[in-house]
Amino acid sequence: MTDPTTTTEEWHDLLRLASPTEERNPRTTDVDLLPTADVVRLITDEDATVADAVRAQRDRIAAAVDLAVEALRAGGRVHYAGSGTSGRLGVLDAVELLPTYGVGEEWFVAHLAGGVGAMMLAVEGAEDDVALGRSDVDAVGPHDVVVGLAASGRTPYVRGALDVARERGARTVLVSANPHAPLAHGVDVAILVDTGPEVVTGSTRMKAATAQKLVLNTFSTATMIRLGKTYSNLMIDVRPTNQKLRARIVRMLVQATGLEPEACEDVLRAADGEVHVALVMLLAGVEAGAAREALRGDGIAGVRGALSRLGALPTR
C-alpha cells in the first residue's frame, strides 16, 4: 500500500528510479481490444526476445559461475535472496538441485522474503523490509556468494541481504531486469537483462521472470558441471530411490559406456547403487573398492579425475 505521507519529491524519485519493466509497451497498448489469437501472438512475440537479452549477459553469467565454483570449493555456499516472483524462482532453482544433482542446502540455499508461506501467498511489506533481508542471510560467511534477485533492481529486502554479504566479506551477484538497477552498484557481478516493457505494464512475472529463470538455469547448471556433477552431458548424481529412477540410471550407464543394460545393472548393484562408483568401475574395468579409492577426496574433478588416476580416459 502507498504511504499516504509520501512527499512530492519522493514521488518524483520513485518515478525517476522506475525500471523499464514498469514502462508501457507501445506494441501492446491495444491488447485488450484484440481477439485471442492476436493476444497470444503478442505475448509470444515479446517472449521470443528474452533469450537474446539473456545471451547478451553471458559473460557476466560466466563470471558469476566462477564466483560460485570458487565459493563451493572453499566450503562456502550460494545464497539466493529475493521477494515475490524473483524470490520464488530462486527457491525453485535451489530445491531442484537436490533430485537433479544430489545437492541440498549445504551448497545452495534460497531466502524468500516472508518465508516459506510466501511461496503460496504474498506477505505484505516483506519486500520493503531491509532488516528482514539482513536477518534472513545472517549465516552468510566470507566464503559464500549471495545472489540478489530483483526484477526492479532496487528491492529493499535484497539490499539488506547484499549489505550483510559485503560486510561479511562474501561475494555478491545481482540478477535484475533493470539495466540501471540501483543495487548493481557495489556488487561483484551485475547480471542486468534488458527485457524491456512487459506486455501488461509492470507484470514482471512475464518476460522479466522468464529471463531470470533462464539465468538461474544457466548459472546453477554451469556451476554443477564445473564441479563434476556430470560426466559428459549425463547426470550422474540422480538418486535411485524408485524403479523408474533406477532404470534411468542404468540407461545413463549404457549411454556412457556402450555396454549392455544387464551388465550395467549388475555393476550398479555391485556398487551399492552409487552411480559415480559404478561408472568408474565400468569405464576403468576395476572393482568397487578401487573405484571408491580413486574417487575419494576428489569431489571436484569427479569421475574424470578418478579415471585419470586409474589411467583410463575414454573419449565418449
Q: What amino acid positions are annotated as catalytic residues?
A: 96, 127
Q: How far apart are CA 227 and CA 251, in angstroms?
A: 23
Q: Cα(164)–Cα(136) distance, rounded to whole angstroms?
A: 10
Give CA–CA dist 163/260, Å, rounded: 55
295 burial type by CB count under 10 A (0-12 exposed, 13-18 middle, 19+ buried): buried
Measured distance CA(215)–CA(55) in Å, rounded: 9
11 Cβ partners below 8 Å, 6+ apart? none
Nearest Cα to Cα of residue 195 among 63, 14, 19, 27: 19
| Cross-strand pairs, 110 | 80
Q: What is the grid cell recorded at 252? A: 545413463
CA angle 23, 128, 131 (to 5 degrees): 150
Closest CA to 18 of 149, 153, 159, 198: 153
User: Residue 123: exposed, middle, or buried by beta-carbon count in 10 A (0-12, 13-18, 19+)?
Assistant: middle
CB atoms within 10 A of CB 178: 26
183 vs 153: CA distance, rounded Å: 6
Q: Which amino acid is at 87?
A: G
CA–CA distance, 209 with 10 (Å, rounded to integer): 28
Cell digits for 5?
A: 505521507
Q: How far apart are CA 240 and CA 228, in angstroms?
A: 19
